[in-house]
Structure 1
Amino acid sequence: MRRKQKPPLPKRHGLDPARLRLPEEGDWTTIRDHLVERLPRVAPGRIDELLHEGGIVDLDGPIAPDAPYVPGGAVWFHRDLPTETEVPFPIGIVYRDDDILVADKPHFLSTIPRGQHILQTALVKLRRELDLPDLIPAHRLDRVTAGLVLFVVNPERRGAYQTMFHKRLVHKEYQAIARVDPALELPRTVISRIVKERQVLKAFETDGEPNAETHVELLEQRDGLGRYLLRPRTGRTHQLRLHMNSLGIPILGDDFYPDLTDKPVDDYTRPLQLLASTLEFTDPITREPRRFDTTRTLQAWDDFDGWTRGNQRP
């Protein structure tokens, strides 16, 4: 396997620098000319600043503002960070050894940097707080879903743990709070085809070969609400939310299903009542059985009045 080239810039805020390969074909006179065309969202003046500051480098060091274009080369730089609102909820640590770390993620915190969420992500926070620069997730949870995420501490073990998820060798359990429909026969397995299109926020179910399967069970109920156990056999985007919605019992706090609700990114009231509660697998390195359980609970079940008032306790 070809080793990934080590960046000539150190991590910043727990993040690797961006790498841009320079195309073999092109008529740019300087590297600056190419960057101005390649990075339309970055003002030319900002590119000039980075070049004068030595913030854009190749393997030989900082690139001069008038450096000639070199086909097939590569440059590295740190992207400017977006303005982010702090997610004020701590990440729990369920387990840690030399190879893995199991985090208990709060609602509203993305697993990895993406879009407008960079520093306020579980990966970056854990890298910085625990001084684990090589930490990487073996899988992901949606930003609005709380619960267990397995991270790999030892870079040499990444493939083994990530492959375990790709091959569906991990038993996952989720808990969800939704209303109870007395006419709905449970437990049952929901099987459907889910499609998620690029640049479209919501996924949807459609005809065709099934690619998503979820076992749904009602654990207990009170005052018209139920606490449900969800066991997904697949991992399609928004699968659990879509399947609960298709049963006519959408998860409390869902701003996507059935209807898309415009909610400010810093509104931490009424979190989605979905929790990744259990991860269970045979460790690919030690061959020992592993089971991890969340320390979190769902607020709508513990304190429904407080949840409806919008108290912030993800």
Structure 2
Amino acid sequence: MARKKAFQPGPLPPREGLGATRARVPEGPGIRADDFVWHLVSTQRHRHPEDDIAAVAARFAEGCVVTRDGSALSPDAWLVPGTDVYFYRRPAPEVPVPFEIRPVFEDGDILVVDKPPFLATMPRASHITETATVRLRRATGNEELTPAHRLDRATSGLLLLTKRREIRGAYQELFARREVRKEYQAIAPLIDVPPAPWRHHLTKAPGEPAAQVVPGAEPNAFTTLAAVSRLAPFEELELQQRYDVPAPLARYTLRPKTGRTHQLRVQMMVEAAPILGDLIYPVLRPAEDEDFSRPMQLRCTRLEFTDPLSGAARSFAVG
């Protein structure tokens, strides 16, 4: 069995919760270092309005543009194709997510939290600082905090992070090998569907917001619908009014075996009913329709596994 390659930290440490960007000089005649970094900054889709040429020059002056071996680059350094350059990007302003991350458990190795909806797990696209990883790194001062798995930005619930880079792989592999038992609660219109295994083939093209079901293809997404129960009258009425849904509502207990992108959201739509507050399924809604008072009603409520370091049984749950 091949030995896994050890994690190698980059030449610039994380700063304010964010890792440095690595960019490789493409094939061609080469380019000046300042021209290369300015091109990367000026063409990024989500750029801070004050991240101008002067701000790029300041990065060079501070020694914060470096090569793989940590050597600082001067603005006029000539970069040949294949050179890796590391520098810090400046996040664009973001709309603050008005919810807090609630700690559930912590020891010397891991941190388990209750992630709120609307907060991405890791920095991506326009969501950089308003992510669980960056918020927690800034709050704890631990720049090595790293999620062992991911939750959709719209999904709330249990998220496990490792606290030290040398143990990161053990927990990430645990999730990758599907050795973590997960349970989710989804709220959607009540449909008379019996508890059963759900099997589908899901695909999601890069850049496309929605995943697709491929009829007749070999299943690659497996979930067990464990239970369906109608909501209590007071909870049902409150959600009917908030989401403008007249139908009876139910809580669906879901136990996924795999972790395909949007797996539970798609399977709920196909086998039962779309989840309340879902802005992608069954119809893609514009981003401006996002409403903090109407989050998607999908929540990871339980994680169970055998700890890869101690061998102890671990179980975490939230309501």
Superposition TM-score, scaled by structure 2 size: 0.84
1: CA distance between counterparts of 2:186 and 2:8? 43
1:163-208 CA-to-partner distances (Å, cap 9, x unmatched) read 1111111100000111112xx2311221111111111101111121
SS in 2 for 1:202: coil
Q: CA 1:74–1:277 in structure 2 vs 1: closer, same or farther (change >3 Å)?
A: same
Q: 2:23 aligns with which of 20, 24, 36?
A: 20
Corresponding residue for 1:124? Answer: 134
Corresponding residue for 2:181? Answer: 171
SS in 1 for 2:34: helix
Aligned identity (percent) is 42
Q: 1:68 aligns with which of 66, 78, 92?
A: 78
1:231-266 CA-to-partner distances (Å, cap 9, x unmatched) read 111111111111111124111111111111124286
1: CA distance between counterparts of 2:20 and 2:126? 17
Corresponding residue for 2:95? Answer: 85
Q: 2:150 aligns with which of 129, 140, 143?
A: 140
Q: Is the 8 A contact 1:28 1:34 kept in 2?
A: no
Q: CA 1:40–1:271 in structure 2 vs 1: closer, same or farther (change >3 Å)?
A: same
Q: Which runs of 5+ in 1 are unaligned?
A: 297-314
2: CA distance between counterparts of 1:185 and 1:131? 47
Corresponding residue for 2:210? Answer: 202
Q: Is the 8 A contact 2:29 2:81 kept in 1?
A: no
Q: 2:197 aligns with which of 180, 189, 210?
A: 189
SS in 2 for 1:264: helix
Corresponding residue for 2:116? Answer: 106
SS in 2 for 1:123: helix
Greater CA drift, 225-234 or 60-69: 60-69
2:199 alignment partner AA: I
Q: CA 1:83–1:187 in structure 2 vs 1: closer, same or farther (change >3 Å)?
A: same
Q: Which runs of 5+ in 2 are unaligned?
A: 45-50, 234-247
1: CA distance between counterparts of 2:35 and 2:277? 48
Q: Is the 8 A contact 2:118 2:292 kept in 1?
A: yes
Corresponding residue for 1:300? Answer: none
Q: 2:280 aligns with which of 252, 256, 264?
A: 256
Q: Is the 8 A contact 1:172 1:278 kept in 2?
A: yes
1:226 counterpart = 2:250: yes
Q: CA 1:205–1:289 in structure 2 vs 1: closer, same or farther (change >3 Å)?
A: same
2: CA distance between counterparts of 1:254 and 1:266? 10
Q: Is the 8 A contact 2:41 2:89 kept in 1?
A: no
Q: Is the 8 A contact 2:24 2:83 kept in 1?
A: yes
2: CA distance between counterparts of 1:167 and 1:76? 32
1:290 counterpart = 2:292: no
Corresponding residue for 1:312? Answer: none
Q: CA 1:30–1:269 in structure 2 vs 1: closer, same or farther (change >3 Å)?
A: same
Q: CA 1:212–1:6 in structure 2 vs 1: closer, same or farther (change >3 Å)?
A: closer
1: CA distance between counterparts of 2:70 and 2:305? 45
2: CA distance between counterparts of 1:290 and 1:278? 11
SS in 1 for 2:78: coil
SS in 2 for 1:165: helix
Corresponding residue for 1:153? Answer: 163
2: CA distance between counterparts of 1:90 and 1:35? 35
CA RMSD between the two structures: 2.3
SS in 2 for 1:245: helix
Corresponding residue for 2:237? Answer: none
Greater CA drift, 148-157 or 65-74: 65-74
Greater CA drift, 268-277 or 53-62: 53-62
Superposition TM-score, scaled by structure 1 size: 0.85
Greater CA drift, 51-60 or 237-246: 51-60
Q: Is the 8 A contact 1:220 1:226 kept in 2?
A: yes
Corresponding residue for 1:299? Answer: none
Q: 1:268 aligns with which of 278, 289, 292?
A: 292
1:277 alignment partner AA: T
Greater CA drift, 54-63 or 169-178: 54-63
Q: Is the 8 A contact 1:29 1:68 kept in 2?
A: yes
SS in 2 for 1:246: helix
Q: Is the 8 A contact 1:191 1:213 kept in 2?
A: yes
1:265-308 CA-to-partner distances (Å, cap 9, x unmatched) read 863121101110000011111111111001x4xxxxxxxxxxxx
2: CA distance between counterparts of 1:253 and 1:64? 50
SS in 1 for 2:79: coil
1: CA distance between counterparts of 2:119 and 2:136? 12
